[in-house]
Amino acid sequence: MPAKPQDRADDDLDPAELQSAVIHRDLKPSNVLVSIQNDRAMPKIIDFGVAKATLCLTGQKRYAEAEAALLEAHEILTAALGTDHAQTLKVLPDLVGLYEAWDQPDKAAEWRSRLPAVPTAKGVPS
């Protein structure tokens, strides 16, 4: 019988998760994704304010760390919600900004091309 989300007790948590000291300030059902792996429910907490954290890292010129966090967030959200979901799309401008700050115009352009077109006042995409 498959495990229920509440069956995943603290003994299932990775010690790194327990030591990370990250506090999620907006935990709600829409920020918890659950997948079944090997007949076990595997919750994944999303929306940790990754943009705020990576903005801080970018400001400290810790670009590689910011890139890793944003790419992981994008991968998780894409797998769970799809490429067109609002949560997934929120990561794209952050990746563009990171690569612009990091002076990587080719990567910035690659991620900018994935941004949805923004309609203008006349309804024509810009």
Span 75-97, pLDDT tens digits? 888 888 899 988 889 899 999 99
What is the reported pTM?
A: 0.61
Span 17-34, pLDDT tens digits? 444 445 566 677 777 777
Q: Which of 40, 22, 23, 42 is nearest to 32 (CA)?
A: 42
